[in-house]
Structure 1
């Protein structure tokens, strides 16, 4: 390229001037401060003696001082969550932590515990290493566990954090026990580094459980997404059938919103002697079920119901969520009045998904709906606590039931499932079958998760529901959600040509209202129903029932009550705290209901068409 002579001359003069004066242009200056390197957080988890139920954790925090206030305060606080999202109870995970120590740049530094879940490390150095042990001997979906057979990590109960560093990437290096070869988790694998994983921030880490051991696993593809199932425990199952049915459930669940938000998904399944449940995560779930879960058709469908519930949380809760459910405060309760939507409507969808996938016949699904209504209407607490109050009080009541809970509370799971059913029917009827609950889920997903990137308020949810229904929903929100008044179920079922009928009938048999358990061959009262004879006449929880009308009871109280009539008087001898008491009791009418959904006579073509739309009848 040809150069201009005058330009070359002036450039030469400028170069000589700069050389003598030391002047340089701004972009050539070299005295600008170099930005400090970004902090990094790495956890190294080892388990050298799994039979002792301990995880050994090394938390490496690099370049921390520059990103926190440590330069000013000369300390940095390390915290442990007190609960895990999806399980609304303060669990005090720090109770299982011991041997907390800290080093800075390789040298020991002073640390002290400053509150139940926080440790203060006195150092302004950039590089800290925190070491501690976690006792893990409670195998649930909410807690961590390790023994000679496998290890399971609920991240909130194992991984500490620094407040200011939560938005940064967090890396996890698993060092499996020497005989273990497999790790299952939804965390992203770090290429080229064995057993090394990374989360884009602490919230993602907390949302990514980890299974370690020699579990069996299989894979399948659903909605174009690879799915892995890690199976812990000795259990017999048909892998081909199970994989196919997982696929059916997952693909049917994905049709609700119509978009799958994941690039991969992991099921961790624990097969245990007793208990069960699940906990949802962003791209994974943990399920607990019995070892014989696949042995009968009934138990098999029960397990698929659990799969459907936790999988649908991918959308409802993890992305479609009340505003309180993320970002999370890991040190305190996170209150919402809409767990009936987050959990209860997911319970509604678990059965609705199985109906749509063909696992339930329409008749079987109607039986499930009627049983759900029977359950909540037979609980005295449904006239005491609203479902929105139940949601808010999950932290103090939902996970801490006592002998009086049935009298004073209602489950946001069970009543929320019923509310999902009637809201779906309200939308179907209000839109003449053009829209359903699915459309409400899609609207919430698109507007708040994708567009506004946040949760929604109670008012915003109601507005969205009424928009989709095409009418005001005062009857639903005022009565069903925010009061304890009876729900007019038939107003919801009539548009699909059904009526809810109590088939229990009126019995002349008397009703005591006391539940018992057997303790050392004796009948001990374990619950007393509000409004019953036992409640009114003063039988108490903890009373050992010795005799009825002078006849010794043994361990079967109900045998002495059966056949007695309403209004009949009994004398019940009890041992109460070591003292004998004679309690006169007058039997009352049995208040228990048993509902069934039946076709209305002379159903119209419009009702039949809406019924078919509702239950996916072709």
Structure 2
């Protein structure tokens, strides 16, 4: 996805478009029915039979999506308008033969999902993810590309994209990989921008917003975005080098969008149903923080396993615990450093992710590297058969985030910090865009913090699935980590229904009480100790009457047959995480200084 030299941009876009250019156009006359009409021309062809494909995957996603399912009315002609022979060797490829050196194709695209992977076309916008929209010829991936966006002027549409502008609504890319990595928002959007950097190297960060809100709401939101940009710049010491000196946030906060965020080389897509006045002001800002951090970590600090990106297969990487997980660690930390959330909100917000990772039985099966390998099965992937991921999978976002937290606090005990480690990785691999391996990250940590420290972290927590001792790490910065050993643990998610029964709604936790008692997802609990549930009662409230070690008699139905079992309650292993002050503990000045260094707060 990133295989090009930035210098080529200056050469490719200062001269005329040559014969070795593939051209596209897209129009939206039938937008009301979510259709686009697309044309493409592939000149100077030497082979008689040319395979024309729709992508099966999308940059930033790791699973297969089969975009060809939304293409129809495909036609192919030569330069004189003669119809060509079309055969289908597989569901996502059209083989065209009998041409005169040029193939001109046309097709209709149906598109109605506005997110970071798919495209959406309606009378509010044309939200285009390129792999979901445009066909391509694999043999021609190094050719220049131009695309003419024939906008709906009656709807006041205009184009926003990281592609290079040629003229009017025509844009260009130096090759297929850059084209595929260049989402485009066409709508009647609003725009804000500011310059960042020193006088000799200023770059522009701009925010394109398609929404139904007010300009005042956008102004308030934009001020938060600017703070995020500057706080993340401080982590790496500089902005990434954007190819045209501009980074673009492409945000669609509209009712017809689906919640998502997706990073790209010089831009990111941000989508959500909630407008800024409908919870989006607070609810969407975390995605801004996460996706912008990717402009360094994943777009330029790039796993070797994702180079080059394969548009015809799933893309597997063992580094997602770092690429996505460490980015997730910084997501809310940056919000705290930027003053968008308070230190108390940040610290207490750690508990959900921490408990999810700490208490998952999945660590007995997979390390963070192996969890990363699961991405093609979980990253917006679809399947119809039941899976056991409740017990066998921890999101590499969460797993890496918790490990990033541990690494940061461990380094701070040595008067070091994760920011400076990230700077080192940036200088070594990101700035010159040299893809890295897990071993490279290990070597960099050894260089930064010493071999003993680096080996311990990677051998225990990355190559294996042990967990650090978090209590002293938190204590170092005045944070209290504690469990309530008297709180009982049932080991299943139970929802009480209107008929007074309790439905087990997920796989029971391996080695937990419900699992050991033989209870399973889908079982319907009719009573516990011969006591039925009350309508609209919460299961947690019902369980409050019992203590750890109590034996419960469970009556339940499975496939309509009544059964019974006994269950012994265990102690809940969940933790609460609070600032010392919240627990009535006064931190010392030294602890407060260390906390301020971590959270960058006054």
| 1:278 aligned onto 2:261 | yes
* Aligned residue among 322, 325, 337 for 2:306: 325
- Quote how far apart the aligned CAs of 1:303 are: 2.4
- Give the whole-Å Cα distance in 1 for the aligned partners of 2:496 and 2:269: 32
**Distance of 2:451 and 2:107 partners within structure 1:** 57
Instruction: State yes or no: 1:541 paired with 2:515.
Output: no
Q: Deviations along 1:542-567, whole A, 9 cap, x unmatched?
A: 22334445555456471544413444
Matched, 1:226 2:204: yes
Give the equivalent residue in structure 1 for 2:225. Answer: 246
Q: Does 1:110 align with 2:85?
A: yes
Flag the 1:400–1:566 CA change in 2: closer, same or farther, 3 A. Answer: farther
Distance in 2 of aligned mates of 1:429 and 1:64? 62
Instruction: Give the counterpart of 1:428 among 403, 408, 412.
Output: 412
| TM-score normalised by the chain length of structure 2 | 0.86
Greater Cα offset, 395-404 or 148-157: 395-404
Q: 1:42 Cα deviation (Å)?
A: 1.0
Match of 1:530 in 2: 510
Deviation readout 1:513-570 (Å, 9 max, x if unpaired): 3333758986432112222222122222122334445555456471544413444444
Partner in structure 1 of residue 389 of structure 2:
405
Q: Specify the SS of the correspondent of 1:77.
A: strand
How far off is 1:124 after superposition? 4.8
Q: Cα 1:455–1:245, aligned 2, differ >3 Å: closer, same or farther? A: same
Helix, strand or coil: the match of 1:324? helix
Distance 1:615 1:375, change over 3 A: same
Counterparts of 1:272-311 in structure 2, within 5 Å, are 272-273=254-255, 276-294=259-277, 300-311=281-292
Superposed CA offset, 1:33-63 (max 9, x none): xxxx742111111111112222211111122
Task: State the 1:317 CA deviation.
Answer: 0.6
Decide whether aligned partners of structure 1 residues 137 and 343 sit closer, same or farther in structure 2, where only a CA change above 3 A counts.
same
- Give unpaired runs (5+ residues) of structure 2: 1-17
**Corresponding position of 2:154:** 179
Q: Alignment partner for residue 94 of structure 1, among 65, 68, 71?
A: 68
Distance 2:363 2:82 in 1: 60
Query: How far apart in 1 are the matches of 2:481 and 2:418?
Result: 25
**For residues 215 and 513 of structure 1, do their structure 2 counterparts lie closer, same or farther at Cα, with a shift above 3 Å needed?**
same
CA contact (8 A) 2:27 2:36 kept: yes
2:598 maps to 614
Q: Would the alpha carbon gap of residues 58 and 207 (structure 1) be closer, same or farther in structure 2, given more than 3 Å must change?
A: same
Alignment coverage as a number of residue pairs: 565
Instruction: Tell me the alpha carbon deviations over residues 439-460 of structure 1, each in whole angstroms, 9 at most, x when there is no partner.
Output: 3333333332444x43111111
Shift of 1:305: 1.7
Contact 1:533 1:586 in 2 (8 A): yes
Corresponding residue SS for 1:59: strand
- TM-score of the pair, normalised by structure 1: 0.84
**Distance in 2 between the 1:540 and 1:181 partners?**
55
2:367 corresponds to: 386
Please say if residues 534 and 585 of structure 1, whose CA atoms lie closer than 8 Å, have aligned partners that are also in contact. no
In the TM superposition, residue 194 of structure 1 has moved relative to its aligned partner by 2.1
Change in Cα spacing, 1:612 to 1:463, as seen in structure 2 (3 Å) is same
Query: Residues 362-404 of structure 1: CA distance to partner in whole angstroms, max 9, x if unpaired?
Result: 4433333454323321333244332111101111245459663
Corresponding position: 1:63 with 2:5: no
- The structure-2 alpha-carbon separation of the partners of 1:324 and 1:414, relative to structure 1 and needing over 3 Å to count, comes to same
Go from structure 1 to structure 2 and tell me whether the alpha carbon gap of 1:583 and 1:147 turns closer, same or farther (over 3 Å shift). farther
Deviation at 1:312, TM superposition (A): 1.0
If you compute each CA radius of gyration, which structure gives the higher value, 1 or 2?
Answer: 1
Residue 84 of structure 1: aligned partner:
58
CA distance in 1, matches of 2:72, 2:22: 21
More displaced stretch, 497-506 vs 199-208:
497-506
Change (3 A) 1:593 1:178: same
Could you say if the C-alpha distance between residues 546 and 178 of structure 1 is closer, same or farther in structure 2, counting changes exceeding 3 Å? Answer: farther
Q: Match of 1:136?
A: 111
Which structure's relative contact order is higher, taking Cα pairs within 8 Å and 6+ residues apart?
2
In 1: Cα distance, 2:137 partner to 2:302 partner: 26
> Is the 8 Å Cα contact of residues 76 and 96 (structure 2) preserved in structure 1?
yes
User: Aligned to 2:406, what secondary structure does the other structure show?
Assistant: helix
Matched position secondary structure for 2:248: strand
Is the deviation greater in 196-205 or in 402-411?
Answer: 402-411
Q: State the shift of 1:153 in Å.
A: 0.8
Q: Is 1:350 matched up with 2:331?
A: yes
Could you tell me which runs of 5 or more consecutive residues in structure 1 were left unpaired when the two chains were aligned: 1-36
Whole-angstrom distance in 2 between the partners of 1:466 and 1:103: 59
CA distance change for structure 1 residues 222 and 504 in 2, over 3 Å: closer, same or farther? farther
Partner of 1:196: 170
Partner Cα distance (1:398, 1:211) in 2: 23
Rate the CA distance shift 1:294–1:256 in 2: closer, same or farther, 3 A: farther
